[in-house]
Amino acid sequence: MKRTYFRNLSVVVVASFVLLAVVQCLWVGRLWRDQVADFTRRVEAAAYKSIYKAFRMDAIPGLAAASQVRIDLGEFALEFEPSLLEDDALQPYAVEVIDRMAAGRVVMRRNDPAALTTPHRAEIEIDDEGQFTLRLAIEVPYARFWQQLQGLVLSSLAIVLLLGGVLIYLVRTMFRQRTLEEMRRDFTHNITHELKTPISVAVAATDALRNFDADADPARRRAYLDMIASQLGQLTLMVERILSVSVEGRKERFAPEQLRLRPLLEELVDGVVLNGCDRDRLRIECDEVLHLTADRFHLRNLIATLLDNALKYAGDKAVVSLSAEVNEQAVVLRVSDNGCGIAREHLAHLFEKFYRVPTGDLQPTRGYGLGLYYARRVAQLHGGEISVTSRVGVGTTFTVTLPCHA
């Protein structure tokens, strides 16, 4: 997947999620506003109807005679409250009559507007001359509106979260796919170089035997044949290392047996020393009598993988320690080094297939990214686990915990 295509696709996915969330929020907000608007419309309609029914042409009590209007808030309430009840809008309310000609003086009042917490306020003219105004304040039932919209809001939220989760999963899958493609590309690149080197050496030695009279000198012939055998052995080891990953899902080839661990560790160390490693760089800490039930072939490859990685990546001067102990019916095997260490952000991915700690275009040590994945699978097939701790500049420790009777 090209970087530009991946970036554009990610932007489209994120934009789609944001747009969906915005549309859902606007839709819920519109429903809420419609609920409030409908309530206020019913209240004001009931107020207008009650004014025309309850107020008559006469004088206001306590004022000078005026033949225009007679206002009685008691009669207004007798008309207003049944209208609210009929429209399913009956809520605590307060009304005041205001005299505009007297600088907004309150002429009469029913209930206290200050007692309302979330009121809707409206002013309605009572007479044609605009002298008197009815000021209405009524409690808006927001809690009831929420109960009515709760199902829709929660379902909308669930849809947004579900689709958001799907989109996040899609983006993560694309990231993983991209990473997997990069790992596979690096794997192909690395294995090509790994296989090419011993083939080239073997071909060169064969040409020397065939074209440069190497047969005439037994020592040279023996050296070339040993070189060919060594390179073919290295090729065989590479192929076996790659094919060993086939242990996944193939338990029929898993044959546990009773074995002693110390001789197995010494055998691996001796093999490393024969290949040119300084014996002083290797330490073994394991009781002679320590034994467990395990598949010898796969356990040997597991330890060999950890030992090989420690020697390759820790540095030429690093000391590698192989230790084992019994802890609560389990064997704890540790392969430690005091080398360069591994950065924290890479530790969680070390056991993934094809993963290698990135070093840019430089590959001082070749590999396939399969060894630690294989090691984890072997530990799991034994009913155990493998973990790693590391600090940059201090060293790395791989810990394998296996049941004594796997």
Instruction: List, for residues 333-351, the tens digit of each pLDDT value.
Output: 999 998 888 888 888 888 8
Beta bridge partners of 132: 99
What is the rounded distance in angstroms from the CA atom of residue 357 to the CA atom of residue 345?
10
Q: Which of 85-89, 201-205, 381-385, 391-395 has the lowest mean pLDDT?
A: 201-205
Give the predicted TM-score (pTM) of the model: 0.46
Q: What is the mean pLDDT of the chain?
A: 79
pLDDT of residue 2: 59
Contacts of 36 (CB under 8 A, 6+ apart): 120, 140, 145
pLDDT category of residue 56 using cuts at 50, 70 and 90: low
What is the rounded distance in angstroms from the CA atom of residue 230 to the CA atom of residue 202?
9
Task: Please state the rounded mean pLDDT for residues 283-299.
Answer: 86
Task: Please state the rounded mean pLDDT for residues 214-234.
Answer: 75
Q: Which of 27-36, 207-216, 367-376 has the lowest mean pLDDT?
A: 207-216
Q: Which is more confidently placed, 84 or 252?
A: 84
pLDDT of residue 200: 78
How far, CA to CA in Å, does 1 sit from each of 6, 104, 173?
Answer: 6, 74, 12
Q: Which of 120-124, 140-144, 207-211, 367-371 has the lowest mean pLDDT?
A: 367-371
Residue 93 has pLDDT above 90, yes or no: yes
- All domains of the chain, ordered by start, with CATH? 3-140 (no CATH), 146-245 (1.10.287), 252-403 (3.30.565.10)
Q: Tokens in use for 245?
A: 């990953």
**To which residue do tokens 């297939």 refer?**
353
Residue 399 has pLDDT above 90, yes or no: yes
What is the rounded distance in angstroms from the CA atom of residue 239 to the CA atom of residue 282?
27
Task: Please state the rounded mean pLDDT for residues 77-104.
Answer: 88
> Which residues in 313-335 are b (16+ Cβ under 10 Å) and which e?
bbeeebbbbbbbeeeeebbebbb
Task: Please state the rounded mean pLDDT for residues 146-164.
Answer: 82
Q: Which of 27-31, 151-155, 319-323 has the lowest mean pLDDT?
A: 151-155
Closest Cα partner for 107 from 138, 66, 62, 74?
Answer: 62
Among residues of the chain, what percentage have pLDDT more than 70?
82
Q: Tens digit of pLDDT for each residue in 237-252?
A: 667 666 655 555 454 4
pLDDT of residue 386: 92
Residue 170 has pLDDT above 50, yes or no: yes
Between helix 261-274 and helix 296-313 the angle, nearest 10°, is: 40
pLDDT category of residue 65 using cuts at 50, 70 and 90: very low
pLDDT of residue 252: 45
Among residues of the chain, what percentage have pLDDT more than 90?
10
What is the rounded distance in angstroms from the CA atom of residue 357 to the CA atom of residue 350?
8
